[in-house]
Amino acid sequence: MERKYFGTDGIRGRVGSAPIAPEFVLKLGWAIGRVLAPDGGGKVIIGKDTRISGYMFESALQAGLSAAGVDISLLGPMPTPAIAYLTRTLHARAGIVISASHNPYYDNGIKLFSGEGKKLSDEIELAIESCLQQTMTTVDSAKLGKATRVADAGGRYIEFCKSTVASHLELKGLTVVVDAANGATYHVAPDVFTELGAKVIPLGVQPDGLNINRECGSTHPDLLRRTVVEKGADLGIALDGDGDRVIMVDNRGELVDGDELLFIIAQSRHRRAQLKGSVVGTVMSNLGLEVALRSQSIGFERTPVGDRYVMEKLTQHGWNVGGESSGHIICLDRTTTGDGIVSALQVLEVMVETGRSLYELKTGMTKYPQTLVNVKMPRKVDVFGIAPIVDAVRKAELRMGDKGRILLRPSGTEPLVRVMVEGRDAHEVDRVAREIAEVVEQALQPR
């Protein structure tokens, strides 16, 4: 059975357009209850980010789960990783996240966690999709699910975040700018760093239902960069709308992306003999990360784009550190999913432990110049089966040798082919990328 609704990160779309519409989400809640609690009973927890549509979808899910005879624990606005954590500690059958992550307010989505706080298996997602094809029924009135609110969810999660670093860690003397993207971390992220002793300058902590990710957060870090420099802060932390991604800014106002943060965390784990196996990145991870890790005898493996695939590789081998350039970093020795606050804390712990600034820590890795060109795909074809494209890539790879890397990747969401080239020489990288993009464009023209 092929997936109809679930993508690599749940179900997502424009609010009001199928499937992100209240009638579908109502039935989705019922199907989740039927699959994960077929005997009725048990509970499912629901959390959301700060989008205005979250109220509507929270109510729809609640009604569907109740109709299936499942109790509901409502968390209100909470980060995605907090929902993963609380699903485990509250012994729920599943956790549901209402969020579209870094997307604008007019999008929304549904993500699911198992009772262990991990993303659902393909088999369970397919079972839910199968159940959606059935006629919705309601259990006997005496067996309807009840809903309660978890009043101390924020406090529980704050304590968990603090527990992922050494108990003696103190951030006194550090001034940290924290940008919560007007999203799900607005009421917890500043408190985590304040309680550990830092002076916190908060940004993006006034959500109004419409301003999530708007000119703030990890996808729009310009305000953070300016504020760090203007306030003379030691660093800045930018989270995305649902709190599972982070990028940082050093004291000079320079961005420190997911690849550089992953390097800092992995290098520290390796030095303390706490790194298990290789580090996992994606095909989009900068070549400089791979080179820097291998220079210290740390293995590096790549997966397709998506934290789901990074997680699968880590779990398969029993490794513990991986992530994406976007700042979705997974530390399986600390938690079960990507967590922006927890990842930032790991980096701050290295800063305090070594006495080095964030700028100094990132200099251990040199990012390679990278050029990305998007080529419109007028028709769906296998680009890897077109001889002129294959020949152009092969010749360019021979020319660059081990000093560069070429990647062709059809977009999973848009009619585009992404041509990415990276290497040591920025001019050569740019030239090769545009040469290959031109070949791809010509080869894809209608005959």
Catalytic residue annotation: 101
Q: Which of 146, 147, 115, 145 is nearest to 39 (CA)?
A: 145
CB 43 within 8 A of CB 73: yes
How far is residue 102's CA from residue 151's CA, in Å, rounded to a whole number?
26
Q: Which of 193, 187, 192 is nearest to 233 (CA)?
A: 193
Q: Which of 373, 375, 366 is nearest to 423 (CA)?
A: 366
What is the β-pairing status of strands 199-203 and 279-282? unpaired
Output the 3-class SS for 274-290: CCCCCEEEECCCCHHHH
Q: How many CB atoms lie within 10 A of CB 142?
A: 6
How far is residue 400's CA from residue 17's CA, in Å, rounded to a whole number?
46
Q: Residue 3 in 3-state DSSP?
A: coil
CB 288 within 8 A of CB 362: no
Going along 33-130, which residue ranges are E strands?
A: 43-48, 71-77, 94-98, 107-114
Q: Read out DSSP for 107-141?
A: EEEEEEEETTSSBPPHHHHHHHHHHHTSPP----G
- Phi, psi for 221 (deg, rounded to 5): -85, 10
At 422, which helix (H) or strand (E)?
strand 416-423
Q: Residue 155 in 3-state DSSP?
A: helix
CB 85 within 8 A of CB 53: no
Radius of gyration (C-alpha) of the chain in whole angstroms: 23
How many residues are there in the chain? 447
- DSSP class of 92: -
Q: Kindly state the tokens that stand for 321.
A: 């550190």
How far is residue 415's CA from residue 8's CA, in Å, rounded to a whole number?
18
How far is residue 241's CA from residue 8's CA, in Å, rounded to a whole number?
18
CA angle centred on 210, ends 24 and 159, rounded to 5° = 85
How far is residue 349's CA from residue 197's CA, in Å, rounded to a whole number?
13
